[in-house]
Amino acid sequence: MSETHENPGPASAPVALPPLGSDPVEIARALVDARSVSGEETVLADAVEAALRACPHLEVLRHGDTVVARTNLGRPERVIVAGHLDTVPVAVTSEQPDGNVPGRLESRDGEEVLWGRGSVDMKGGDAVILHLAAALAAPRRDVTWVLYDHEEVEASLNGLGRALDAHPDWFEADLAVLGEPTAGDIEGGCNGTLRLILDVPGRAAHSGRAWVGANAIHAAGDLVGRAAAAPVRTVDVEGLAYREGFNVTLIEGGVATNTIPPSCRVTVNYRFAPDLSAEEALARAKRVLAGLPVDGGETDPVIDGGTGPVVVTLDDLSPAARPGLDSPLAAELIAAVRERGGEVGPKYGWTDVARFSAAGIPAVNLGPGDALLAHTDDEHCPVSQIRDVAGVLRDWLA
């Protein structure tokens, strides 16, 4: 079954994927070679759909540029294994005038790595999904394989979220595994994230007569100081320590070098631990920026930088996810990872495990690649990790 594409990307050359039974490293390299910046995933999604439809044991479904393939063997348990097809923009620099696409295999400190945009986040994980979807014709638990679009942009465009809303029956499962980069370890749950845009008022004046105006950038300085001094926490949730972050990430202001700025815009990002609901985190962030105690009190206080009330716009609010490690399926997967020398820890960044958790499906992160290299100009993933993650999941599912 195929549905109309809702967000087709620009026309591009067709993508040639190797046979899905190939070494997952070769599949990963082909995926990296296929440029698929958010909004440009259609051609790659077409290739993925075609490759999966060639597997007779799979039912293949599509919503926009999200492709779902699943076994229907009547097993008593079902798991989801998911990954996103899109990447952040390619890195064009003076040293890399063509960007970091296509990819290449190279040696780093005696280890073979796949270099290129998306090798870490998260086409190495996607390659594992495609390889195993083709290889596991009769797994001991039914599997729903999901490859989706628009993960790297605003939440309303997220292909997984849109497909979940439109077809919740496609995603019924007992556990979900998201192939986000974890260097082959298990990372449980994730921090939540919210983004506030603060428009600070001022009054323009000639800088030679500054006392006539009101400097919005100076007023914003108080808000920056409150953000810098925010009481961020390290919180134990079900045995995992989640570290928070509260940061100003953008400042925009000023009209001329001899003019007192009449406005300033400050963007704040709060990464909050899974012990807080999204609403609790939002109230906490507003109290910090209002200079109030973080616990208790008003949930929507007036924020003032000294030149008047600040206009506050909620630009993003994505809930955290608890670890989800206590389900029998998760415990079994954890044991398989530990048998290969892997570890278990928290996911500090936000991932789509939160969407699965909100849908009542316990979810964990497990994929190749070091998350610290995601989105960097030098993004690269050890090929051994791609094969190791494929091996762990094969052993767990087969």
Which candidate in 151, 180, 187, 244 is catalytic? 151
Query: Which CATH number does 24-190+321-397 carry?
Result: 3.40.630.10
Question: What percent of the chain clears pLDDT 70, i.e. is strictly above it?
Answer: 97
Query: Phi/psi of residue 302, each to 5°?
Result: -75, 130
Q: pLDDT at residue 165 above 80? A: yes
Dihedrals phi, psi of 136, to nearest 5 degrees: -95, 85
Please determine, for residue 13, whether its predicted confidence score (pLDDT) is greater than 80: no
pLDDT surpassing 60 at residue 379 = yes
- Which pLDDT score is estimated for 89? 96
Are the beta carbons of 397 and 173 closer than 8 angstroms? no
Single-letter residue type at 172: E
Judge whether 233 and 321 are in contact, CB under 8 Å: no
Q: How far apart are CA 31 and CA 54, in angstroms?
A: 18
Question: pLDDT (tens digit, 9 = 90+) per residue, 117-142?
Answer: 999 999 999 999 999 999 999 999 99
Domain ranges within the chain, ordered by starting residue: 24-190+321-397, 192-318
- What is the Cα–Cα distance from 14 to 29, expressed in whole angstroms? 16
Q: Which residue has the tokens 């406005």?
A: 263
**Structural element, H or E, at residue 269:** strand 263-272
- What pLDDT is recorded for position 326? 87
Lowest-confidence region among 43-47, 147-151, 281-285, 305-309: 305-309
In one letter, which amino acid is 340? R
How much is the mean pLDDT over the chain? 94
Provide the residue type at 68 as one letter. Answer: V
- Which is higher by pLDDT, 95 or 148? 148
Q: Which distant-in-sequence residues (6+ apart) come within 8 Å of 41 by Cβ?
A: 9, 65, 85, 86, 149, 150, 159
Q: Whole-angstrom Cα distance, residue 219 to residue 169?
A: 51
Please name the amino acid found at residue 197. I
8 Å CB contact between 262 and 206: no
Residue (of 122, 111, 133, 72) closest to 384 by Cα position: 111
Active-site residue (options: 33, 41, 49, 86): 86
Per the CB < 8 A criterion, the answer to whether 15 and 47 are in contact is yes
- Is-catalytic flag, 86? yes
CB of 379 closer than 8 Å to CB of 373: yes
| Catalytic (active site) residue 151 | yes
pLDDT at 12: 59
Strand-pairing partners, residue 321, are 190
We find that the CATH architecture of domain 192-318 is 2-Layer Sandwich (3.30)
Residues 6 or more apart in contact with residue 268 via CB below 8 angstroms:
195, 196, 198, 223, 227, 246, 247, 248, 249, 285, 289
The answer to whether the predicted template modeling score (pTM) of the entire model surpasses 0.85 is yes
Name the nearest CA neighbour of 363 among 137, 83, 38, 162.
83
DSSP 135: H
- For 178-220, the pLDDT digits (tens) are 999 999 999 999 999 999 999 999 999 999 999 999 999 999 9
Q: How far, in Å, CA of 276 to CA of 295, rounded?
A: 12
